[in-house]
Amino acid sequence: MQKLLEPCIALAIKAGDAIMDIYQKEDIGAREKSDHTPVTEADLAANEVLMAGLKALAPDIPIMSEETPIPELSQREKWQRYWLLDPMDGTGEFILQSGDFAVNIALVENNQPVLGVIYWPSKQTTYYATKGHGAFKRSVDEQQQIFVAPPNSLTLAVSRRQKLEAVSQYLNSHFDTVALGSCSLKACLIAEGKADCFLRVGPTGEWDTGASQVIVEEAGGCITDAEFNPLTYNQREHTENPDFIVMGHPDWQWQKLITPHHRS
């Protein structure tokens, strides 16, 4: 895994550069996919960079990407190891030009993420981790190991576009908020101790949490579904996540703070 890490970081940055090239254009090629989610030329350009780069890096490792057709479970359940990609997490934020979008690369082994790279192109910042080796943040001129924050005042990472009421009803405590765009970037806020919790209510895919999960866990936190069960990878015919919770320091006693719920 460590041998794959630096090439993955380089690929994520290359994909981010492809995204930023299109970010500057008047026509970003925005349209709606068959599942009614948005896609742009930037998503496709980043996907092309990642697919080509990972096939060259490790030809024997299969790839599952949000922007390519997903094989049937009968084929992919045999995979012991595969890449899980979201070429651009936060397409809606890209369209709004908020800058809050990221490239996500995860390596999954035996149905659990073991390597994660999240690159934030507009900030030229990379978050990364491999299982058992800690989580890190790297900017242009600095690198540091990151950790979840010790309990103090509870800070909830929220979306700029999701109504706060959609998630606040599940928290049994007063909290402050910090707003950011993509799911993975909010998870990174928790991993680096700038927020304590993030509740995602609504549809996402396994590629939205794969890279985040390794980084958050290696920083001392965890990600579970909204009823505190482990997330699963490549074990169902569909690849949609349940509602999920990204939690920071375990001393918060999250099962007392958050009311479990089913998606309505």
In a domain, 250, yes or no: yes
Of the residues 146, 166, 193, the one at which a domain ends: 146
| pLDDT number for residue 47 | 96
Residue list for the binding site for Mg(2+): 66, 86, 89, 208
Give the CATH number of the domain where residue 238 resides: 3.40.190.80
Instruction: Quote the CA–CA distance of 118 and 102 in Å, as a whole number.
Output: 6
Query: At 243, which amino acid appears?
Result: D
Please check whether residues 223 and 102 belong to one and the same domain. Answer: no
Domain count, the chain: 2
Residue list for the binding site: 66, 86, 89, 208
Please check whether residues 33 and 123 belong to one and the same domain. Answer: yes
Please check whether residues 239 and 159 belong to one and the same domain. Answer: yes
Q: Would you put residue 240 in left (φ > 0), alpha (ψ -120 to 50) or beta?
A: beta
Residue in the structure block whose two tokens are 């909010």: 186
Residue 150 tokens, joined: 């010790």
In a domain, 187, yes or no: yes
- Listed in sequence order, the residues at least 6 apart from 260 whose beta carbon sits closer than 8 Å to its beta carbon are 170, 226, 227, 228
Please check whether residues 10 and 110 belong to one and the same domain. Answer: yes
In a domain, 161, yes or no: yes
Instruction: Quote the CA–CA distance of 187 and 157 in Å, as a whole number.
Output: 8
Mean pLDDT by 10 residues, the chain (264 residues): 92 96 81 75 93 97 94 93 95 86 97 97 97 96 95 86 71 82 93 94 92 98 94 94 94 88 55
| pLDDT number for residue 112 | 96
Of the residues 88, 114, 146, the one at which a domain ends: 146
Instruction: Quote the CA–CA distance of 94 and 101 in Å, as a whole number.
Output: 6
| pLDDT number for residue 70 | 93
| pLDDT number for residue 56 | 97
Residue list for the binding site for substrate: 66, 208
Q: Are 5 and 130 in contact (CB under 8 A)?
A: yes
| pLDDT number for residue 263 | 52
Please check whether residues 196 and 248 belong to one and the same domain. Answer: yes
| pLDDT number for residue 264 | 47
Of the residues 92, 119, 146, the one at which a domain ends: 146
Q: Would you put residue 62 in left (φ > 0), alpha (ψ -120 to 50) or beta?
A: beta
Please check whether residues 165 and 184 belong to one and the same domain. Answer: yes
| pLDDT number for residue 179 | 82
Residue 200 pairs in a beta bridge with: 244
Please check whether residues 37 and 68 belong to one and the same domain. Answer: yes
Which residues form the domain of 20?
2-146
Please check whether residues 18 and 103 belong to one and the same domain. Answer: yes
| pLDDT number for residue 210 | 97
